[in-house]
């Protein structure tokens, strides 16, 4: 069953990144490189989906692709696909490890409705991405320029009729936490879970997650996926909400030293 769920995870992942991308570079069913127009390596990922023997040609092709677009990029690969040859190829293009992430899933048809605190105010803000993006600046220690580029990528996705739903949690009429829900067929994916630093550790992200899980169920999704940094405290929150680990990824990016 896990192999089938993993395949769905990759489909949901591809739908999200392809929707916010200006251009994609596909390598059959082995890998895809996404160019979003955001000047941040983690927002222009090359996802390796299968183990292959020769990585040099693929990595050099992607290097040229991103270099031609003057865009930083990263590579994400399942831990079980890592080999000495891959690490050597990554070293040759100046890449080094930058963290571990966890692919997770939740079977929505086995979930009861999540209880959201009554006094919590959450609004759909697909037509107000300037509100949605506010918490993301501080939440991800980003810059206004980068988050504006990211909001533009989401606006482009909406204009292209991507099935995206943006939500923001408000306190005293100010946006303090945001999230994105994307849907394709019976699959949902959660991204951009971010809360202003001054409001973290107060349960707001958990309430927003619960709300979005309920929305995904109401919209007909059977599975919900997300990917989170292994070192982050959010993992424990997701597990409490019922999310289970599918596999672990290793992330690589250009060395800065």
- Over residues 128-169, the pLDDT tens digits come to 999 999 999 888 877 899 999 999 999 999 999 999 999 999
Place of tokens 């169920």: 217
Q: Which class does domain 2-101+250-254 fall in?
A: alpha beta
Instruction: For residue 10, give Cα distances in angstroms to 56, 87, 158, 186, 227.
Output: 23, 23, 21, 13, 11
SS (H, E, C) 109-135: HHCCCCCCCCCCEEEECCCCHHHHCHH
pLDDT at 69 over 80: yes
Q: Point out the least confidently predicted range of 10-19, 51-60, 181-190.
A: 51-60
**Mean pLDDT of all residues in 72-95:** 93
Q: Any idea which architecture 107-249 has in CATH? A: 3-Layer(aba) Sandwich (3.40)
Do the Cβ atoms of 212 and 106 come closer than 8 Å? no
**Mean pLDDT of all residues in 205-221:** 95
pLDDT at 204 over 80: yes
**Mean pLDDT of all residues in 235-250:** 94
pLDDT at 62 over 60: yes
pLDDT class for 107, splitting at 50, 70, 90?
Answer: very high
Mean pLDDT, all residues of the chain: 93
Q: What are phi and psi of 23, to 5 degrees?
A: -155, 150
Same fold, 2-101+250-254 and 107-249: yes
| Domain assignments of the chain as residue spans, ordered by start | 2-101+250-254, 107-249
Degrees to nearest 5, angle at CA 50 with 46 and 51: 105
**Mean pLDDT of all residues in 13-41:** 96
């Amino acid at each position: 069953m896990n192999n089938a769920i993993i395949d769905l995870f990759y489909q949901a992942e591809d739908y999200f990144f392809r929707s916010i991308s200006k251009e994609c570079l596909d390598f059959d069913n082995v890998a895809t490189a996404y160019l979003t127009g955001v000047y941040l390596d983690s927002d222009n990922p090359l996802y390796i989906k299968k183990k292959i023997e020769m990585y040099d040609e693929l990595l050099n092709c992607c290097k040229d692709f991103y270099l031609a677009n003057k865009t930083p990029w990263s590579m994400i690969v399942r831990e079980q696909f890592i080999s000495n040859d891959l690490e050597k190829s990554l070293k040759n293009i100046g890449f080094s490890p930058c963290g571990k992430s966890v692919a997770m899933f939740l079977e929505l048809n086995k979930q009861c409705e999540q209880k959201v605190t009554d006094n919590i105010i959450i609004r759909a803000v697909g037509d107000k991405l300037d509100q949605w993006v506010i918490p993301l600046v501080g939440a991800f220690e980003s810059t206004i320029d980068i988050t504006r580029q990211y909001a533009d990528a989401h606006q482009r996705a909406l204009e292209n009729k991507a099935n995206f739903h943006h939500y923001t949690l408000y306190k005293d009429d100010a946006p303090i936490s945001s999230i994105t829900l994307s849907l394709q067929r019976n699959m949902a994916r959660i991204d951009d879970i971010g809360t202003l630093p001054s409001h973290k550790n107060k349960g707001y992200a958990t309430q927003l997650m619960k709300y979005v899980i309920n929305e995904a169920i109401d919209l007909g999704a059977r599975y919900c996926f997300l990917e989170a940094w292994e070192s982050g405290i959010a993992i424990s929150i997701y597990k409490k909400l019922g999310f289970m680990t599918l596999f672990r990824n290793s992330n690589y990016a250009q060395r800065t030293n």
